[in-house]
Structure formats: C-alpha cells, structure tokens
Amino acid sequence: MATLAPVRSSAPTEPDRPSAAPLRQLGPNWYATVMGTAIVANAGAALPGHPSWLRTPCVIVWALSAAMLAALLGARAGHWLRHADRAREQLLDPAVAPFYGCLSMALLAVGAGTLSVGAGVIGTPAAVAVDAALWVAGTATGLLIATAIPYLMVARHQIARGSASPVWLLPVVAPMVSAATGPALVPHLPNGQWRAAMLLGCYAMFGLSLLATLVILPVVFARLTYEGPLPLALTPTLFLVLGPLGQSTTAVGNVADAAPGLGQAWYAHLMGGFAVLYGVPVTGFALLWLALAGAMVVRAARRGMPFAMTWWAFTFPVGTCVTGAASLARHTGTDVFGWLAAGLYVLLVAAWGTAALRTARGLISGALLAAPR
C-alpha cells in the first residue's frame, strides 16, 4: 500500500497493563491494515489471465477491506473527538506523523478495488461513483499530507541524527497510489479535456512522488550503512521501499493502458514505450531490494524479532510489485513477468494471512491497543 514502524503509543509488543480507553491509543498506522487487505484483492484481479477461481476470494477480501475502512474512519473520528490531545501529540511526533500517509492510501486502495473487483457485486455505475469519490478524497488527502508532514519534519519535529527510517516514505508515496489508480476512471470521463487532464495529472503525481522518493531513499540507505541494521521491531519497514518502486511501475503501465482515450494526442503513443523502458529496470531494482530486505528480516527473526504492526509492511508494498509485474506482462507480452507476478502474489497472501492472524490475536488480547509503558 500500504503497512509499519511501531508507533510508540499504539503498538507496544509487551504492554504493562491494558488501557482503560483503547480508542485513545489508536494511531494512523492502523490504516495499514486496510491497505494491506485491499491490495490482496486488487493484485489478485490484476494477475495475468484473470484466474476465475480467484474472483470470489477477491470479492470477499475487497468487502472485508471496505468494512475495515468504514470502521477505522469512524474510530479515528472518535479518537479526534474524544482524545484530541493525544491526536495532536501523534501529529507532532516524528515517529507517528508519517503514518498519516496511510489514510490516503487506504481510501485509494479500497476505491480501486471497488471498481476492479466490486463492480460485479454492486454494479458498474455504483462502483464508478464510489471509486471516484474515494479517489478524489484520497488524492486530496494525499497531496495535503505529502506537503504537511515534510513541513512538520523540518519546522516542528525534533528528529535525532541517524534516525532516518523507511517510514519517511509513507507521506510522499501516497500521490503515486493516486497516479496508479486514477487511470481506471478515464474511460468514465467525457472525451477531450477531462480525460487529458486526468492522465496528465496522474503523470504529475507520478513525478512528484518519484522525485520525493529519490530525495528520501539515499538518506535512509545512508542511515543503514553508517548506523547499522534497524532495531528488530523496525526491520519489516525495509519492505516499504518496494512501495514506490512497484507502484510507480504500475502507474506508468496503467496510464499507458488508458492513453488511447486521449485520441490523437501526439504523446499518447509514447506512454506505452515509457511504461516498459521505465518499468523493467525499476522492477530489477525492486527485486534487488526485496532480496536485501528479506535477508535483513531473516537476520532479525533469528534474533527474536517480535510481532508488531510493522509486519503489515510485508503486504501493500509487495502487492504493488505484483501489479507492477502484471503491468509489464501486459505491455511486453513476456511470460516471465506473469510468473513473477504470480510468485509475488503467493508471497503477498502468505504475508497478509500471517499479519492478519497476529493482529486479530493482539486485538482480542488487548495487547495492540494497550497503554504505553
């Protein structure tokens, strides 16, 4: 997606006592569960060949993600109303604030799933309306967060030297999700200026997010090389780097798919070539990073890596690599990318099942919403 770094106040692994007000500890990192669930349905629908046996499971998972989104939106609204002081603390906490990017991506992921998976259940007109509403809300929220959180990091947050984290990517990758999901709405827009504005707007958000990622990623890698591995509970966040890589490949591919809607625009036919020339090398780097991050997770697991909400980082970013590989399979016609998409999807489902089971167990026990030490 989404989803992530453990929020000090909302996901302790060994709480001392249950919280008297569990809602008070609910942070924006919980939107990662929605992202990670929705991408299972979205990626399944994008697989080459569209396996018929996956349709019903994808519909069920999409419906689950929509219900989770509705529940979390209500719970977070209650958090701001009843615990405004805690909500402000989270916004001004550099360990928590980047997770506000998950809100935008949760809206966008569920919206995309509504059109790609849910249309057969609620009908195409309703699916288009829901997707359009969630896309507009998610895009507006994402652009605001992509500006506001970096501003707070510079002007208000007290960030220690050497504390850079892949979590910093969350606010700036949200517009990339808009760029990847927006093209599906193009066929439902009027011909001419509306379609051109949508596609070029998606390209602008692709560039916004990509360049911001290129600014942040060297800082994150420098922290790893100079300071050593991340703390055990934070190690899964290394998978977050896959998010902008897979999502950007998906974005240029989806824009190219929608380009024929531009008619005779001279640049429309160039978009397909760019989808391949950009997507193939970026996918190569994504596989390199997947191997590196996987090795670091194995190292952390051997040292007793505990369960935390960071485990949701194994879901949405891997899912974007599935949709990116599926896009390359369409545009290149090569089976190797189709097999890559299928293999990554198996990894995604296994990661989602593990994170969902452990999260449900933590909710039932009260550990994940317990008061901090």
Domains and CATH numbers, the chain: 24-362 (1.50.10.150)
pLDDT at 4: 44
5 Ramachandran zone, left/alpha/beta (phi>0; psi -120 to 50): beta
pLDDT at 261: 74
Torsion sign across C-alpha atoms 291, 229, 237, 152? negative
pLDDT at 372: 57
33-47: pLDDT as tens digits: 999 999 999 999 999
pLDDT at 291: 97
Q: What is the pTM of this model?
A: 0.91
> Do 349 and 40 meet the contact criterion of CB atoms below 8 Å apart?
yes
pLDDT at 3: 41
83-131: pLDDT as tens digits: 988 889 989 889 899 999 999 999 999 999 999 999 999 999 999 999 9
CA distance 251 to 274: 11
Helix crossing, 193-227 with 124-155: angle to 10°? 40
SS3 string of 243-276? HHHHHHHHHHHHHHHHHHHHCCCCCCCHHHHHHH
Torsion sign across C-alpha atoms 225, 249, 315, 176? positive
pLDDT at 277: 96
Q: Which two tokens stand for residue 8?
A: 């000090």
Segments of the chain scoring below 70 in pLDDT: 1-21, 263-264, 371-373
66-82: pLDDT as tens digits: 999 999 999 999 989 99
> Do 308 and 7 meet the contact criterion of CB atoms below 8 Å apart?
no
> Do 213 and 139 meet the contact criterion of CB atoms below 8 Å apart?
no
